[in-house]
């Protein structure tokens, strides 16, 4: 079947809309007509080869749409179902058995290789195999081949076009707070970086009753939004010393939890310096392998402090995405306030606006929706 897809050709090269051939779903696969898909900084990291998806490829990993066809053996969804597509996993390793698919032993192979597990691609362009299967979906397209494991059914009570970011960015920020750090009532949290992931963490922390709840960013408009979404305090590091402000606010003790969404070593260093004894700093920014961190070992050890990596919010999408939708319907998790819509044809503008901070969460609408 012929579809329209945005093809990434190389580092920082504009994506181009192309006519692409997509296969019928194989056993265990699901063909989805994409309604809308989020744009995430991870897509840009893949485009620019910071994450090794070989070009040319169709990126996109926050898709939502309607099931068209299913392959043999698929029982979780059926044609006509409304779904969100999330990250892929093997379903058979110890992490998957423990309902922690983000730590799947084949996570990179199933999300960043640009191929199925058997090395094949479900997409062809100009007569050649095209990189696909990104996060088990490649949803910068009118249609996507995904897998039964990474497709989540969603209710008709929420507009489908807003739900794609629940598959990665929103899930990551909210899950870091709720699942990984398990921030409790009246426990203090500082969120470094208030993009889509950071603001999702702020909303989740408000649900959990965190206080004080501190947002840190260099963009004042984002700090204003963070306050509206639940932050009790907001600091701009270009205008003040964040570490000094947080220590003063907490009586010189520091915060129980810090969350870094920036992947910038200097920011991580500040986040760790802000920790109270037994405090935990979670890292959700996509750091390159080999990146060293400026962490004071004595400060870390003497107070029983900890730093831990968090992937996809420690979430099992099949349980966590419906939970976030329930919170949204109850008026407690207004993640739709992060979204700005763009037509697929304006994908490069959407990427530019995300990279420059103009838009918190761009979402691409497919033609006909």
d(CA 41, CA 252): 35
Domains and CATH numbers, the chain: 2-167+334-365 (3.90.180.10), 173-311 (3.40.50.720)
- Confidence class for position 289, pLDDT limits 50, 70, 90: confident
Which residue, among 279, 273, 278, has the nearest Cα to 243 in the 3D structure?
273
Which residue, among 312, 349, 259, has the nearest Cα to 104 in the 3D structure?
312
Please state, as a whole number, how many other Cβ atoms lie within 10 Å of the Cβ of residue 68. 17
pLDDT at 54: 87
Mean pLDDT on 26-33: 98
The mean of the pLDDT values for the chain is: 96
Characterise 263 by phi-psi region: left (phi > 0), alpha (psi -120 to 50), beta (else): left
Cβ–Cβ < 8 Å for 172, 284: yes
Between 50 and 168, where is the model more confident? Answer: 168
d(CA 123, CA 110): 16
28 burial (CB, 10 Å; 0-12 / 13-18 / 19+) is: middle
Mean pLDDT on 121-125: 96
d(CA 214, CA 232): 6
Cβ–Cβ < 8 Å for 84, 164: yes
Please report which helix (H) or strand (E) contains residue 348, including its range: helix 347-356
Please provide residue 72's backbone torsions phi and psi, each rounded to the nearest 5 degrees: -60, 140
pLDDT at 286: 86
- 51 pLDDT exceeds 90? no
E-assigned strand segments in the chain: 2-8, 16-22, 29-38, 57-58, 63-70, 82-85, 123-125, 128-129, 143-147, 151-153, 189-192, 213-216, 233-235, 255-260, 275-283, 306-309, 339-343, 361-365
d(CA 61, CA 186): 35
- Confidence class for position 52, pLDDT limits 50, 70, 90: confident
Please state, as a whole number, how many other Cβ atoms lie within 10 Å of the Cβ of residue 221. 12
pLDDT digits (tens, 9 = 90+) for 215-259: 999 999 999 999 999 999 999 999 999 999 999 999 999 999 999
- Confidence class for position 145, pLDDT limits 50, 70, 90: very high
d(CA 347, CA 361): 13
d(CA 193, CA 202): 10
d(CA 97, CA 169): 24
d(CA 78, CA 76): 7
For residue 239 the two structure tokens come to 């205008």
pLDDT digits (tens, 9 = 90+) for 309-355: 999 999 999 999 999 999 999 999 999 999 999 999 999 999 999 99
CB environment 114-150: b (16+ within 10 A), e (fewer): bbbeeeebbbebeeeebbbbbbbbbbbbbbbbbbbbb
For residue 272 the two structure tokens come to 């760790």
For the full predicted model, state whether its pTM sits above 0.85.
yes
d(CA 94, CA 201): 27
Cβ–Cβ < 8 Å for 275, 134: no
- Confidence class for position 49, pLDDT limits 50, 70, 90: confident
- 50 pLDDT exceeds 90? no
pLDDT at 325: 98
Find the angle CA(277)-CA(282)-CA(287) to the nearest 5 degrees.
135
């Amino acid at each position: 079947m012929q579809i329209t897809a945005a093809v990434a050709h190389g580092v920082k090269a504009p994506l181009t809309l192309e006519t692409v051939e997509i296969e019928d779903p194989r056993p265990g696969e699901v063909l989805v007509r994409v309604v809308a898909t989020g744009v995430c900084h991870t897509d840009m990291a893949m485009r620019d080869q910071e994450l090794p998806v070989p070009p040319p490829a169709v990126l996109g990993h926050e898709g939502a749409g309607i099931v068209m066809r299913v392959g043999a053996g698929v029982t979780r969804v059926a044609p006509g179902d409304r779904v969100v597509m999330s990250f892929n996993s093997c379903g058979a390793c110890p992490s998957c058995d423990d309902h922690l698919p983000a730590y799947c032993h084949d996570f990179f192979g199933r999300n960043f290789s640009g191929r199925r597990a058997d090395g094949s691609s479900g997409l062809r362009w100009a007569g050649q195999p095209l990189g696909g299967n990104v996060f088990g979906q490649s949803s910068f397209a009118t249609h996507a081949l995904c897998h039964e494991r990474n497709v989540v059914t969603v209710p008709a009570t929420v507009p489908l076009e807003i739900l794609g970011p629940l598959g990665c960015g929103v899930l990551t920020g909210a899950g870091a707070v709720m699942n990984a750090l398990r921030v409790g009532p009246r426990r203090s949290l500082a969120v470094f970086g208030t993009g889509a992931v950071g603001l999702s963490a702020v909303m989740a922390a408000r649900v959990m009753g965190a206080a004080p709840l501190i947002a840190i960013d260099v963009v004042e408009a984002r700090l204003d939004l963070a306050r509206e979404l639940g932050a009790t305090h907001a600091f701009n590091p270009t205008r003040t010393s964040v570490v000094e402000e947080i220590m003063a606010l907490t009586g010189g003790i520091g915060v129980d939890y810090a969350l870094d969404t920036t992947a910038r070593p200097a920011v991580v260093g500040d986040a760790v310096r802000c920790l109270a004894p037994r405090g935990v700093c979670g890292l959700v920014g996509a750091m390159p392998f080999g990146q060293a961190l400026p962490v004071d070992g004595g400060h870390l050890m003497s107070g029983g402090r900890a730093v831990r990596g968090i992937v996809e919010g420690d979430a099992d999408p099949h349980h966590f995405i419906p939970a976030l939708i329930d919170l949204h319907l109850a008026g407690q998790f207004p993640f739709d306030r992060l979204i700005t819509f763009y037509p697929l044809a304006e994908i490069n503008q959407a990427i530019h606006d995300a990279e420059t901070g103009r838009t918190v969460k761009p979402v691409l609408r497919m033609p006909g929706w």
